[in-house]
Structure 1
Amino acid sequence: MELLVLRSIWSGPESLEPLLQQTVDAGFNGIEGPIPDSPTARREWQQQLQDHNLAFIAEATTGSDKSDSGNWWIPKPERSLQDHLDDLRWTIEYAAAMDALFVSAMTGYDAWSWQQNVDFFSQALELQQQSGITISFETHRSRSLFNPWITRDLLQQFPQMQITCDFSHWCVVCERLIDSEWEILQLCASRARHIHSRVGFAQHAQVSEPRAPEYQAALIAHERWWDLIWQSQKLRGLPRTTMTPEFLWDNYMSTLPFTQQPVADVWQITCWMAERQRQRFAQLGKTKLGQTQVSQTPTNIVQPTEHSRD
């Protein structure tokens, strides 16, 4: 199984050429981000991605308001179920033209009823079937898959549903590391298409510095969950897996009071995480599946007492 490591568009320069050149120079395999609105920008993106030999994962964000610069990614209560479907349909329509590997979608609304969720995902999966474009639904705060239990129920309701696993969000929602929900993690692993390898903890969806010793318990827990996904994908015979170290600036990175100075460097962390996971994936490939322990509920986990900034 091959690992493709992508970087988020939100972690780099706004201009396309510097963004892509930085991505190539750092050894990433591609970009994850939204499809540009204008035909001219889409054509430029597609050409530049081809020229740089970069893969692309199309990001869909439904039911939001792009004019709200402060919280544009948050679903708006007044946006209807049909609005969410229309937003998703728009991304699907252009994903094939952009040669996207698939669509990773922040969809739905955490305040929806069970029936609203069923209605939405029924129709979203029909869009997937009709278009032939795979949709990977992200586990994300404020969205339908905002906690482990609603995600479990929807995965059981829709056996064909695939997900982008960003477990950092669940750590905040549940206010704990989520080894307590091991059976749900196993179910998620069996449906995982894509991983966002950000590290969260009980009070924030992004640790300020995953190399710091105070965050080692959170880092190791997330890696345990990602190993579970990789193991499942190997057993399913997937030829390729994808991962985006989605460390971000925009209020994800902690800042100092008054000055708003970031306490760490997002791009440096992103590159460190990418290389660490490449090495771990390569090591996992040398381990026979029968020798791995991630399929078992973790007990008596010993956290490290030493730390290295490899």
Structure 2
Amino acid sequence: MKLQFYCPRWGAEDLPWSAFCKKVKQSGYDGIEAAVPEQVNERAEMTAALKANGLLFIGQYFQSFEKDFDAHQKNYLRYLHLLASAAPVKINAQTGKDYFSFEQNASLIQVAADFSEQTGIKICHETHRNKALFAAHVAHSYLQQLPNLSITADFSHWCSVAESLLEDQKEAMALACKRVEHLHARIGHAQGAQVIDPRLPLYQRALAQHLGWWDAVVSHYRKEGRRVLTVTPEFGPAPYMVQLPFTQMPIANQYEINVYMMQLLKNRYEA
């Protein structure tokens, strides 16, 4: 089994696509994870930069803003089609809302399943705050009732929601680790979805907890004979990244931390 690593566009939006993709390739990534630009010219720039640098692409949907469910579902499908136009390896979707009913969120998940059947593009649903799978115990119910549901595992969000390292959610975590289609490698803690820097001694317990969950994911992949696990190290910029007072300077280097996370996981799972 091998890991494929994807660099988030999030935090590097000020770079032209050509410069961003060149930097990503030089850093050792296999691809990028990003939304698809709605403007035709920028979309062409993105696809050209990906091709020029031999990079793969995972589409990212996060625009779940509409409170009205019918409008929400219509826009959800529109964005899935936009992402599909760039021929992604898969789509990571921040599906639904935490205040939609189970039936409404399940309906969106079914829309995604139908879309996958029509296009052949796998959609994985992110365990993200304020989305359908916003907490471990809530996601556990979805995973139990929807056997074909695959997730993008960003367990850092669940730590923040539960104000813990999920020590009392072992059953939910065990099931979640068996349903991972894509992994977001960010370290959360009891009071937030992102530690300042995973290399700091202060956060070694949180790092170890996340590595334990990822070990379970990798173990399941190997047991099932799956050949590739896609991973996006996804430490983000402000407001995820702490800023210094008044100057608003970031307290750590986002890009450097994500490269560190990539190397850490390469060494851990591919040695």
Partner of 1:23: 24
Partner of 1:84: 72
Partner of 1:286: none
Residue ranges of structure 2 left out of the alignment (5+ in a row): none
Structure 1 residues 231 and 141: CA distance shift in structure 2, 3 A: same
Query: Do 1:247 and 1:270's aligned partners in 2 also have CA atoms closer than 8 Å?
Result: yes
Query: Do 1:95 and 1:133's aligned partners in 2 also have CA atoms closer than 8 Å?
Result: no
Structure 1 residue 11, shift from structure 2 partner: 3.0
| TM-score for both structures, normalised by structure 1 | 0.83
In the alignment, which of 194, 211, 219 is matched to residue 182 of structure 2? Answer: 194
Q: How does 1:153-164 map to 2 (within 5 A)?
A: 153-164=141-152
SS of structure 2 residue aligned to 1:209? coil
Q: CA RMSD in A?
A: 1.5
Partner of 1:252: 240
SS of structure 2 residue aligned to 1:104? strand
Partner of 2:9: 9
1:276 corresponds to 2:264:
yes
Q: Write out the 4+ residue segments of structure 1 that deviate beyond 4 Å after TM superposition.
A: none
Give distance in 2, aligned partners of 1:144 and 1:173. 13
Residue ranges of structure 1 left out of the alignment (5+ in a row): 65-75, 284-310
Q: Which residue type is aligned with residue 130 of structure 2? A: S
Aligned positions, number: 270
1:138 corresponds to 2:126:
yes
Q: Give CA-to-partner distance per residue, 1:28-52, whole Å, 9 cap, x none.
A: 1110010110223222222221111
State the identity %.
Answer: 33
Q: Which residue type is aligned with residue 103 of structure 2? A: Q
Q: How does 1:278-293 map to 2 (within 5 A)?
A: 278-283=266-271
Structure label with greater radius of gyration: 1
Q: Which residue type is aligned with residue 3 of structure 1? A: L
| TM-score for both structures, normalised by structure 2 | 0.94
Q: How does 1:261-272 map to 2 (within 5 A)?
A: 261-272=249-260
Structure 1 residue 93, shift from structure 2 partner: 1.9
Partner of 1:237: 225
SS of structure 2 residue aligned to 1:56? strand
Structure 1 residue 21, shift from structure 2 partner: 1.2
Give distance in 1, aligned partners of 2:33 and 2:24. 11
Partner of 1:100: 88
Q: Which residue type is aligned with residue 4 of structure 1? A: Q
Q: Which residue type is aligned with residue 228 of structure 2? A: R
Give distance in 1, aligned partners of 2:251 and 2:49. 33
When structure 1 is superposed on structure 2, of 127-136 and 100-109 the one drifting more is 127-136
Query: Do 1:84 and 1:107's aligned partners in 2 also have CA atoms closer than 8 Å?
Result: no
Structure 1 residue 156, shift from structure 2 partner: 1.6
Partner of 1:43: 44
Q: Which residue type is aligned with residue 165 of structure 2? A: L
1:221 corresponds to 2:209:
yes
